[in-house]
């Protein structure tokens, strides 16, 4: 008989949020791995993120989804509390209390970056005796921005910093296990809280979920084209920010040199940076175009700050001639979006911090042009651009073993192995 898993995922389809993707891509495989899953999410009407109804097509029929309410943002913002995690906390507590009282669950699984909700795990563990696992997709309490200029810090930085400093230990010290996209996140937590040194943990990336590409293709008539067919289009879709400049700068430098030495050929290239801001549509501030202007290549760069839907993003990646993935200067950062890029079989150029886990993963796939900040050279980048200009590669066949190793099914199996270990050790 399968064990019972209660998943806490504040964002869930049709809300188009990055932090619900692990749950969404794992749901088709949990049962086969020995776990029956139910999801508790916040009703989409309370979320101020974009909605994508196509995401619902990937949810297996029969998955029970419980929806909780949240206080209206218009009300809570008056006292400076707009976070959906804070707005939903009381409702989450009430709903899950009822579920745990009326049903037997073997494990609670928090998979979200709305971290304040995770503090409820300690309460439920104490009251109902149910262990819980936290999926650390991003750092929760972090010193990353503490020495950055005010202009580079997120909104309400000091309030959020001190709130996280208080809430994180409540959830982490009482957790029964940790999952993370980066080993560095777990290592940092164990250093910060010695009491969890022996806590079961696993580093598990987001998986490659091939059905999504077919959903995007099937519904392509719903989306306006973003690329110019008259050019060689190199595409990046994701957030912007100055922490990406170290990865992007050598590419712009090589492009500038190419334009100076072989203008006719290099003018065929356009680099797209799409969805670079989290701000509401039309209100985003460009963070890539100013860098392009420093290198005098702004005519070859298109930055679209508005976010686009998940499936429009996947379709656009498939329509591109090549793809570019810049990594953050934060050594613990790992780009969870590398797998959709690789599934498209388009040629990829990637530049990351040497410590990023994305580099060895892409090397296992057989990505030819993946570099760290220290080993990327103008010669490397010229070869990539010249191959594009000459049309030497159209599609790329990546390593079949790596494709299977990092599939959503295998990543779900890895999660369930940790769940099983926690339950076994508990008994």
Q: Which pLDDT score, from 0 to 100, does residue 141 have?
A: 79
In which band, very low, low, confident or very high, does the pLDDT at 334 lie, cut at 50, 70 and 90? low
| Lowest-confidence pick of 77-81, 96-100, 379-383 | 77-81
DSSP, residue by residue, 326-387: EPPSSTT---TTHHHHHHTT--EEEEE-TT-THHHHHHHHT-SEEEETTT--HHHHHHHHHH
- For the chain, what is the mean pLDDT? 92
- The side-by-side arrangement of strands in the sheet containing 107-111 is 64-68, 35-42, 3-8, 107-111, 132-136, 177-180, 201-203
The average pLDDT across 76-80 equals 51
In which band, very low, low, confident or very high, does the pLDDT at 371 lie, cut at 50, 70 and 90? very high
pTM to 2 decimals?
Answer: 0.83
Contact present, 1 and 415 (Cβ < 8 Å): no
Q: Which pLDDT score, from 0 to 100, does residue 299 have?
A: 97
pLDDT tens string 276-288 = 998 888 999 999 9
In which band, very low, low, confident or very high, does the pLDDT at 76 lie, cut at 50, 70 and 90? low
Q: Which pLDDT score, from 0 to 100, does residue 166 have?
A: 87
Q: Give bridge partners of residue 392 from the DSSP assignment.
A: none
pLDDT tens string 168-201 = 999 999 999 999 988 889 999 999 999 999 999 9
Task: Sort strands 177-180 and 301-304 into parallel, antiparallel or unpaired.
Answer: unpaired
Q: Which pLDDT score, from 0 to 100, does residue 331 have?
A: 72
CA 114-239-323 angle, to 5 degrees, is 130
pLDDT at 161 over 90: no
CA 153-159-164 angle, to 5 degrees, is 95
Q: Which pLDDT score, from 0 to 100, does residue 78 have?
A: 47
| Lowest-confidence pick of 26-35, 236-245, 275-284, 312-321 | 275-284
The closest of 247, 225, 231, 263 to 388, measured between CA atoms, is 231
pLDDT at 407 over 50: yes
Q: Which pLDDT score, from 0 to 100, does residue 79 have?
A: 47
Q: Which pLDDT score, from 0 to 100, does residue 74 have?
A: 60
The average pLDDT across 20-30 equals 97
Q: Work out whether the CA dihedral 64, 69, 74, 76 comes out positive or negative.
A: negative
The average pLDDT across 329-356 equals 85
pLDDT tens string 299-318 = 999 999 998 989 999 999 99
Q: Which pLDDT score, from 0 to 100, does residue 135 have?
A: 97
Q: Which pLDDT score, from 0 to 100, does residue 232 have?
A: 96
Half-sphere exposure of 113 (CA within 13 A, CB side): 10
Report d(CA 328, CA 354) in Å as an integer.
10
Report d(CA 161, CA 145) in Å as an integer.
9
Q: How far apart are the first and last CA of the chain?
A: 17
Chain centroid to Cα 396, Å, comes to 24
The pair of three-digit structure tokens given for residue 189, joined into one six-digit string: 């937590």
Residue 304 phi/psi, 5° resolution? Answer: -110, 110
């Amino acid at each position: 008989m399968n064990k019972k898993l209660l998943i806490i995922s504040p964002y869930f389809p049709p809300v188009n949020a990055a932090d619900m993707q692990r749950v969404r891509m794992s749901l088709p495989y949990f049962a086969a791995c020995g776990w029956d899953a139910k999801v508790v999410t916040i009703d989409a009407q309370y979320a101020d993120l974009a909605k994508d109804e196509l995401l619902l097509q990937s949810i297996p029929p029969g998955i029970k989804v419980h929806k909780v309410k949240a206080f209206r943002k218009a009300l809570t913002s008056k006292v400076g509390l707009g976070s959906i995690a804070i707005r939903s906390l009381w409702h989450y507590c009430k709903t899950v209390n009822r579920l745990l009282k009326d049903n037997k669950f073997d494990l609670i699984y928090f998979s979200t970056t709305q971290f304040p909700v995770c503090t409820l795990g300690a309460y439920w563990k104490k009251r109902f005796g149910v262990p819980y696992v936290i999926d650390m997709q991003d750092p929760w309490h972090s010193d990353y921005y503490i020495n950055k200029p005010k202009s580079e810090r997120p909104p309400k930085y000091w309030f959020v910093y001190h709130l996280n400093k208080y809430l994180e230990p409540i959830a982490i010290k009482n957790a029964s296990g940790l999952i993370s996209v980066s080993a560095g996140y777990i290592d940092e937590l164990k250093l910060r809280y010695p009491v969890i040194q022996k806590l079961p943990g696993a580093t598990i990336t987001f998986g490659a979920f091939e059905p999504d590409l077919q959903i995007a293709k099937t519904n392509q008539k719903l989306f306006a084209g973003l690329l110019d067919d008259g050019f060689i289009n190199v595409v990046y879709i994701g957030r912007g920010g100055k922490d990406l400049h170290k990865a992007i700068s050598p590419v712009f430098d090589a492009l500038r040199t190419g334009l100076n030495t072989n203008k006719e050929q290099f003018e065929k290239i356009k680099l797209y940076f799409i969805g670079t801001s989290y701000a509401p549509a039309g209100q985003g501030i460009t963070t890539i175009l100013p860098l392009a202007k420093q290198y005098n290549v702004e005519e070859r760069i298109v930055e679209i700050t508005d976010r686009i839907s998940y499936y429009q993003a996947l379709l656009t990646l498939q329509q591109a001639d090549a793809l570019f993935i810049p990594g953050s200067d934060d050594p613990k950062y790992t780009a969870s979006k590398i797998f959709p890029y690789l599934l498209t079989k388009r040629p990829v150029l990637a530049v990351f911090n040497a410590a990023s886990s994305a580099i060895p993963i892409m090397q296992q796939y057989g990505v030819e042009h993946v570099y760290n900040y220290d080993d990327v050279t103008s010669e490397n980048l010229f070869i990539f651009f010249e191959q594009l200009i000459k049309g030497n590669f159209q599609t790329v066949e990546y390593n079949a073993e790596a494709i299977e190793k990092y599939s959503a099914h295998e990543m779900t199996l890895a999660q369930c192995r940790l769940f099983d270990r926690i339950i076994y050790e508990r008994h």
